[in-house]
Structure formats: structure tokens, C-alpha cells
Amino acid sequence: MKEEITLRAYGKINLGLDVTGKRPDGYHEVRMVMQTVGLYDSIRLERRRESGIEIRTNLPFLPTGPDNLIFQAAKLLMEEFRIEGGLFINLYKKIPVSAGMAGGSSDAAAVFVGVNRLFRLGLSKKALMERGVKLGADIPYCILRGTALAEGIGERLTPLPPMPDCFILLAKPPVSVSTKFVYKNLKVESLSSHPDIDGIVDRLGAGDLAGISTRLGNVLETVTVPVYPQIRKLKDCMVAGGAQAALMSGSGPTVFGIFEKEEIADEVGRDIRAGGLAKQVYTVKPLNVVERIGR
């Protein structure tokens, strides 16, 4: 039996993010168009005879115990299936932390998949997604990946036609945004406009990159942009530099711009670094066909 496995945990952006209401349990009802991008963390899982879960990471400020989502994901499956022995997890993070790119959720999704394969549990993708939502609303999408419409609290997923080929510039300013803070301060009933989610879905079906770009929207910007003006500056810089459009991803603060040409995206990225707006800057592509995950 294989004793170790290495997986890639890809980040995501939101082409559209709308909040339609708040449920009695405190969760928000959302409609989002999610897209996997080619920035990823590397996760190596290794079986051990001695019991326990040990995590190491390249970022010293990350928790490595029960507070970490990947610890919780491994523990959930190992306890449910009464797995004997233990697990060592090495996490090399490249996706910015607390950045609106679902890095933590993607890492947890990869651990669900890795434990399933490593210990021959035989769980389907659907079964993994059902377990993943217990730990976080984004985890089922991070197991599915690609282009998808997310509804409910984000757990109801409908695969969509792939995003047209393009280049995506990612830039995270040197601030961290609390998702809890953003949703707590979102005034759903006062929103004057909502993103055209159906329009984005329609344009994806037509393979119309320009049509998608003109419809980008994220209602969470109504909370984050006034508090973190760096987000607006990054958006303006990308559009001025030639992006078809720019938007904050998730609850922020990462901003992405859509470009047709890689060299232009790279040039704008260099300007952003030089101007001190962001140090974590990457040019990537949308990923629609990624390595098999689950079954």
C-alpha cells in the first residue's frame, strides 16, 4: 500500500459574488460563480505507524494543531473510519493567507482527498463533499474545482462551462481581511445593486470573455473597499494598465484582473510591486482541467 501522496491545492477567484439574504442560523444565502486558478499550495501526506496527526508548514504563524482546517479534515476521516496509525502532513503554502482565495478550504479539500486515497477509503467525490461542508462552506467547491455556480451557503454546486482562456493577475495587498467581519458588516437589505450572476453564467456558456468581464461583481466590496482603500487602488491600477476588468475575490483583500495577453498582465504586476501596492503578485491562468480529485 502506498505510504505517501502529494497533492496540489488550487486557489479560486469569484467572477461574481452576490448575497441574497441571511438565514435564521446566521449564515448568508449566496449566489457565486467560482473559478479555479493556477496558484496552488503543495501538500504531502505520509502514513505513520504511531498514532496522531503532525503538521509542518513553511509559514511559522500558521497553527499546526486542532485549529488548522487540514488537521480537522484528517481527524474527521480518521475517526470516522477508525484508521489505525497516524498521519504526517507537510504543507507548503503559496496561496496568500486570509486573502479571499479559499486557500485554507482548498488545503482541507486536498487532505480529504489525500486521506481517502492514502487509506483506500473508497469514498466518492460526492461523499467527500458532504463531509467537507461540515468544516467549511467553500470546501465542497474546492473538492469539485473548475468553474461552478455556488448557491445556498455555497454548498449547492452546479458545474459550468469553462472560463475562456485568458491571463489572470492576482495581487494581495499587505492587509488581512476577516471574512466574519465582512459578513457581519454587510447590509444585505441596503444593497442598491447586485451582480448579474445569470449573465455571467450565460456568457460562460457562450465563451464570451468580454461579456464575462463586463459583468464581474462582488457585493462584499461594499464593506471592504471603504475600510481598505488599497483594494480600490489595485483595481484602478489593473484597469488603467489594460485589464478588461478587475474585482476583489471573496471577502478580500486579493484583487484579480482579467487580461488577454500575458506580457501586459506581467507588466502591470511589476508596476504594482514597484508602487508598493502588493508584494504577493502572480500571473496565472484559469484552470478547468486539473488533476483528478476524488473518484
CA atoms of 93 and 98, how far apart (whole Å) = 12
| Dihedral of alpha carbons 187, 30, 181, 284, sign | negative
Reply yes or no: is the peptide bond before residue 173 cis, omega within 30 of 0.
no
Backbone angles phi, psi at 81, to 5 degrees: -100, 10
Q: For the chain, what is the largest distance between any 2 Cα atoms, rounded to a whole number of angstroms?
A: 57
Would you call 266 a catalytic residue per the annotation?
A: no
CA atoms of 125 and 30, how far apart (whole Å) = 23
Q: What is the pLDDT of residues 184-214, one digit of tens each?
A: 999 998 898 999 999 999 999 999 999 999 9
CA atoms of 218 and 203, how far apart (whole Å) = 17
Would you call 12 a catalytic residue per the annotation?
A: yes
Confidence of residue 292 (pLDDT cuts 50, 70, 90): very low
Cα dist from 203 to 103, 146, 161, 207, 286, whole Å: 27, 16, 9, 6, 16
CA angle at residue 95 from 93 to 100, to 5 degrees? Answer: 135
Which residue of the set 12, 93, 172, 235 is catalytic?
12
Terminal-residue alpha carbon distance, the chain: 18
Grid coordinates belonging to 34: 467560482
CA atoms of 107 and 101, how far apart (whole Å) = 11
Check if the beta carbon of residue 278 is closer than 8 Å to that of residue 233: no
CA atoms of 217 and 162, how far apart (whole Å) = 18
Which residue of the set 18, 93, 138, 235 is catalytic?
138
pLDDT score of 289: 59
By the 10 Å C-beta count (0-12 exposed, 13-18 middle, 19+ buried), 90 is classed as middle
CA atoms of 244 and 213, how far apart (whole Å) = 6
Identity at 250, one-letter amino acid code = G
Q: What is the pLDDT of residues 57-69, one digit of tens each?
A: 999 999 999 999 9
CA atoms of 146 and 263, how far apart (whole Å) = 24
Q: What is the pLDDT of residues 28-82, one digit of tens each?
A: 999 999 999 999 999 999 999 999 999 999 999 999 999 999 999 999 999 999 9
Helix (H) or strand (E) holding 271: helix 262-274
pLDDT score of 295: 33
The whole-model pTM stands at 0.95
Q: What is the pLDDT of residues 95-145, one digit of tens each?
A: 999 999 999 999 999 999 999 999 999 999 999 999 999 999 999 999 999
How far does CA 143 lie from the centroid of its chain?
11
Q: What is the pLDDT of residues 134-153, one digit of tens each?
A: 999 999 999 999 999 999 99
* Local structure of 57: helix, strand or coil: strand
Of 99, 102, 243, 247, whose CA–CA distance to 173 is shortest?
99
Check if the beta carbon of residue 238 is closer than 8 Å to that of residue 140: no
